[in-house]
Structure 1
């Protein structure tokens, strides 16, 4: 079984859309007998973000030049989200968080086979409920609701567990030329970046699987 590594960030709207499109693509491929092991890998959209985060309106006005431009981009995301069956509530989002703590929780969840539900809880918490996924208490609540031991998560966040691993993976991705997410890799080969529609994702995975199989047979 081949491995799909997806680099993503819990505060990236296109990563949530990409996750939903991925689920649709993989369901179709599974019906064809093609299955993959999925792993979610860390990438910071804002590696220089203060640990406490910043007010979202201020941050986006500075990043995109004006609050109006930020709203235009939010509207584009919301439209793409609806096409994927997702509702974005940008009106509820007050802060742009630092996402290192969220990545640490997702990394811990991987050891328990809970990456998918935990990441889904983070996406939904941030983009639908307007919760601050940089806040440790919020992260504990969301992780616990997704099946993790809340006390263990809180204890982990109070220390430095997984921090170095997350930061090293993030830096390795940047050094490898990845500058946007979601980014999809099959058996460590970069396939594409972006929230591609499900049908195109499935085609890319089929083709990559066939190419890698042919290489293995020729080796």
Structure 2
């Protein structure tokens, strides 16, 4: 009998490679499911910009400061857009006006886990930010996007009105950094770090296949 392993994915909603990685992951999991390998996927919080102001910043200004110039930022955006097309997603950098603080979005994603809707909510937030240019640090926007993905809007609004799940998100984010995670997406199988990065679906599936075999062999030898 095959054990259903847990696959933890550390990601951030403002990380373009995380959206690409999610689509590659979906394809990899479909390939493995056809072989009888299935995984319990859990999306975990990580802040690319832990010092981001609560209200976020103007994206063009932020990227010019981070990468040295607006031209360099546009060059990196073009690289991301090309990789996105290969993964089946379309980035609209021209619509993206702000770089948000992502803590509130991570709280919504954590809330979605209890409802079994993490995948749907995360996709809605990625698409909202990267394709529609929505501010996913804005509470009404988060309520709308999460509601469209299946979460009760009133419950999302009530959660975000207080401090619910904030401490848990910040603690997980800190634990990841202290554990040596420095980039996302990062993939862990049964708490073993496998790799970081949005590698192509076929390579991702092979990495999961080999990791599952190694963990099974270790369990048999124990």
Provide TM-score, normalisation by structure 2: 0.98
- Report deviation, 1:182: 0.1
Whole-angstrom distance in 1 between the partners of 2:55 and 2:100: 7
Whole-angstrom distance in 2 between the partners of 1:115 and 1:199: 23
Q: Aligned pair 1:214/2:196, yes or no?
A: no
Whole-angstrom distance in 2 between the partners of 1:104 and 1:111: 12
Whole-angstrom distance in 2 between the partners of 1:196 and 1:3: 19
Q: How does 1:1-219 map to 2 (within 5 A)?
A: 1-219=4-222
Post-superposition, which runs of at least 4 consecutive aligned residues in structure 1 deviate over 2 A? none
Structure 2 residues not aligned, in runs of 5+: none
Structure 1 residues not aligned, in runs of 5+: none
- Report deviation, 1:161: 0.5
SS in 2 for 1:98: coil
SS in 1 for 2:9: strand
- The number of residue pairs the alignment matches comes to 219
Whole-angstrom distance in 2 between the partners of 1:149 and 1:85: 29
Q: Deviations over 1:31-85 (max 9, x none)?
A: 0111111000000000000000000000000000000000000000000000001
Whole-angstrom distance in 1 between the partners of 2:79 and 2:44: 26
Whole-angstrom distance in 2 between the partners of 1:9 and 1:25: 20
RMSD: 0.3
SS in 1 for 2:216: helix
SS in 1 for 2:40: strand
- Report deviation, 1:167: 0.2
Provide TM-score, normalisation by structure 1: 1.00
Whole-angstrom distance in 2 between the partners of 1:114 and 1:57: 32
